[in-house]
Structure 1
Amino acid sequence: MPKLMIIVGSVRPGRVGLPIAEWVRHAAEETGDFEVDFADLAEIALPFMDEPNHPRLRQYTKPHTIAWSERVDAADAILLVTPEYNHSYSPALKNALDYLNAEWWRKPVGFVSYGGVSSGTRGVVALTVAVVGLGLVKTGANVEISFPGAQIGNGVFTPDEKQRTILGNELRELAQLAEVLKPLRS
């Protein structure tokens, strides 16, 4: 069974990304297709990149980097729950990606983005250059959520039918790609 890492890309207090990511986790677990690793960047608390060596060398010196490397290395697929900040990506998410290099190679990546009018898509577009540069393979299906606060009540995100359908398609694609790409990672 492939391991799906769901990364909560916002660390802001009161973030709407956490209830969205909880919905994603629940949906992924319900499929029975994945072992899920829920990676909340607020809990992981990586400092701004503080390693002396380039990540491609994998000569990590900090315990937080070693732990992050082992966790990402164990993942077979990645799902980024990401906000759009100022027409771009979350700096905490970009920092988490930049800490590593080979650990991301040839793993499928999907996005669940959220924001205002653009549903976070400008953040995903900006982030795409980085994830492709790291060797991640982007899914075709991606969930896009406009004004997500309207779908959150009592700390719980309630998706609409379109969002549920697209997430289901995205999860199936992540499972398929994880299997197909596995030989390319060895």
Structure 2
Amino acid sequence: MASVAVVLGSIRPGRAGEQVVRWIEEQSLRLEGVTPIFIDLRDYNLPFFAEEMPPSMQAPTLPEAVRLRTNIEALDAVVFVTPEYNHSISGVLKNAIDYLPPATLKDKATALVGYSYYGGVTPRTHLREILSTFGADVRDQEIGINLGSDFVDGAFTPSEELSAQLRELLASLA
């Protein structure tokens, strides 16, 4: 049984990412051996990173940072769900990642799901670059969700093809 953290990189009210996370959870339940665990950055009170030492030299001791690190370390794999903010990932997601010592994601099976009107291409690219410095095992396959064609009247309506791609990606994490 593989436990998979599903980290939502948006804290905005009305965020589209919640619907995406629910879809990931639903698709996970169709696979034997995959248990999704939602990690909502809204639930972590992480101030902007301003530690004296970088996490590569000393793990942050701020209780919320320790809780985030412990929760991610306890799971087998991670799916980062990122919106596109100004052609990159959100500040809250980058800040949360900045609190993680590299060992947290070293060799951890990791997947990227991005959403925007352009399928989240740019934030997925940036996130891949960031995670590569940790030595994360980022899967080549990624999921891009288009806010125009994959949402109808504000409701996420993924195609069966997109759902099949996600199940394949999740299975690769297990």
What TM-score do the two structures reach when normalised by structure 1? 0.85
Q: Is the 8 A contact 2:34 2:171 kept in 1?
A: no
Q: Secondary structure at the match of 2:29?
A: helix
Does residue 146 in structure 1 map to residue 139 in structure 2?
Answer: no
Q: Secondary structure at the match of 1:56?
A: coil
Runs of 4+ in structure 1 displaced over 6 angstroms?
Answer: none
1:81-104 deviations in Å (ceiling 9; x for gaps): 111111111111111111112111
After superposition, the Cα gap between the structure-2 partners of 1:165 and 1:22, relative to the gap in structure 1 and judged at 3 Å, is same
For the aligned residue pairs, the C-alpha RMSD in angstroms reads 1.9
Determine the structure 2 residue equivalent to 1:90. Answer: 90
Q: Distance in 2 between matches of 1:61 and 1:5?
A: 22
Q: Is the 8 A contact 1:51 1:62 kept in 2?
A: no
Q: Distance in 2 between matches of 1:140 and 1:91?
A: 24
Q: Secondary structure at the match of 2:47?
A: coil
Unpaired runs of 5+ residues, structure 1, are 176-186
Q: Is the 8 A contact 1:140 1:170 kept in 2?
A: no
Determine the structure 2 residue equivalent to 1:115. Answer: 116
Q: CA deviation at 1:142?
A: 1.4
Moved more, 56-65 or 18-27: 56-65
After superposition, the Cα gap between the structure-2 partners of 1:99 and 1:14, relative to the gap in structure 1 and judged at 3 Å, is same
Determine the structure 1 residue equivalent to 2:171. Answer: 172
Identity %: 32
Higher helix share: 1
Moved more, 49-58 or 133-142: 49-58
Unpaired runs of 5+ residues, structure 2, are none
After superposition, the Cα gap between the structure-2 partners of 1:73 and 1:107, relative to the gap in structure 1 and judged at 3 Å, is same
Q: Distance in 1 between matches of 2:121 and 2:17?
A: 15
Q: Secondary structure at the match of 1:30?
A: coil
Q: Secondary structure at the match of 1:55?
A: coil
Q: Secondary structure at the match of 1:82?
A: strand
Q: What is the total number of aligned residue pairs between the two structures?
A: 173
Tell me the amino acid that sits aligned with residue 113 of structure 1.
Answer: G
What TM-score do the two structures reach when normalised by structure 2? 0.90
Tell me the amino acid that sits aligned with residue 110 of structure 2.
Answer: V
